[in-house]
Amino acid sequence: MENLFEPLTLGRLKLPNRIVMSPMTRSRAPEGVQGDLAPEYYAQRAAAGLIITEGTQPSVIGQGYIDTPGLHAPAHVAAWRRVTDAVHDDGGRIFVQLMHSGRIGHPSLYPDAALPVAPSAIASGEQIFTPDGMLDHPTPRALTLEDIAQTVEDFVASAKSAMEAGFDGVELHGANGYLIHQFLSDNTNQRSDAYGGSIENRIRFAVEVARAVTDAIGPERVGIRISPAHTANGISESDSKELYIALIRALAPYGLAYVHVMEFGSREITKLVRAEWPGTLILNPHATPEETSVTPESASAVLDEGLADAVSFASLWLANPDLPARIKAGGPYNAPDPATFYGGDHRGYTDYPTLDG
């Protein structure tokens, strides 16, 4: 596993290893404000080459789940500043993932009970957990051209807030069936204007967001996550290979710090992305849809193959705050407790033991 511990330059950062902490929703931020335990939770994991935070909404209407953090108000900035200070004090590096959920939302999440928004007025066909139990995602409101321009500005404003909050950079969430991915996919984007129809039009929103954010805070501080051929949240792509080749080619001139691929049995497309992307590639490897979690062995293998420059782990980081030390020692690894993944107190959040007890 020695290749996992080789240093890596990412933008302006010098990563001491290639073991990245993947974004993981924890739903412990009432009213979008990170709580008192969040600084400890993230600082415990500061030995990561890079921490990428849980998905964080850049606007009110961008929220998709209960108690997820925001980064669009002064209270959000102040709360996140405590997190970044704690991580930096322990020698870590941290990007915030900016995640607009699009149609994966519900009126119960918004103060004005508005409909969630999307490229087209097409419901996901899935459900959301709310204070009233499981409810269907409603049919979203299709974004107007003015709405799209405002949403790009929301990402920019949130990225600037991230800098104010002390983050080393931002990751744009273009994966897993959320808003940017909804524009990319032809089953969720059925627009007839400049943002729909052809591949060139469907990648337009993703490219505009990336360009605007890099202009605002610098390309070395911006990454993007994609999930080619992933069917999460009702997504279905009919042209994944051509779509992601076009997207990567369109993004390449902007010099982003990295592309982060959430793989879903799409190894052929991962290889195409790798061939087209001139910069750093972080991979969350799942060579088949049945592979449920990344292991040190699978991570080391994709580095050996040259398929990625770094590898992101999710559940292993959740349950093992000292993951690099455990990988070096060959384990053992704590098992994550699914009952404590979302919401709650310190249990399953900051109380997983380290090797040294």
Using the predicted structure, report yes or no on whether residue 290 has a pLDDT greater than 90.
no
- pLDDT above 80 (res 357): no
pLDDT for residue 151 = 98
What CA–CA distances, in Å, run from 35 to 67, 69, 73, 158, 317? 10, 9, 15, 19, 20
> What are the backbone dihedrals phi and psi of residue 200, each rounded to the nearest 5 degrees, phi first?
-55, -40
Segment 95-109 shows an average pLDDT of 97
Q: Are the C-beta atoms of residues 178 and 99 closer than 8 Å to each other?
A: yes
| Strand 8-10, strand 222-226: pairing | unpaired
Which amino acid is present at 84? T
pLDDT at 116: 98
Q: What pLDDT digit, counting tens, does each position of 3-60 carry?
A: 999 999 999 999 999 999 999 999 999 999 999 999 999 999 999 999 999 999 999 9
Q: Which of 197, 229, 65 is nearest to 131 (CA)?
A: 65
Q: How many alpha carbons fall within 13 Å on the CB side of residue 121?
A: 4
* Mean pLDDT of all residues in 117-123: 98
pLDDT in tens, 302-326: 999 999 999 999 999 999 999 999 9
Who contacts 109 (Cβ-Cβ below 8 Å, separation ≥6)?
63, 64, 65, 66, 130
C-beta separation of 48 from 142 below 8 A: no
Kindly provide the b/e burial profile for residues 4-15, where b requires at least 16 CB atoms within 10 angstroms of the residue's own CB.
Answer: beeebebbebeb
pLDDT of res. 291: 81
pTM here is 0.97
Residue 139: DSSP 8-state: P
| Mean pLDDT, the chain, whole residue set | 97
What's the DSSP call for residue 73? S
Distant-in-sequence, close-in-space partners of 310: CB < 8 Å, separation ≥ 6? 8, 10, 15, 18, 19, 20, 49, 50, 258, 280, 281, 282, 283, 303
Q: Residue 219: pLDDT above 90? A: yes
pLDDT greater than 90 at residue 69: yes
For 140-181, what is each residue's pLDDT tens digit? 999 999 999 999 999 999 999 999 999 999 999 999 999 999
Nearest CA among 89, 6, 84 for reference residue 49: 6
- Calpha distance 156→233 (Å, rounded): 25
Q: What residues are labeled active site?
A: 178
pLDDT confidence of residue 288: 87
Whole-number percent of the chain with pLDDT over 70: 100
Cα separation, 271 vs 269, in Å, equals 5
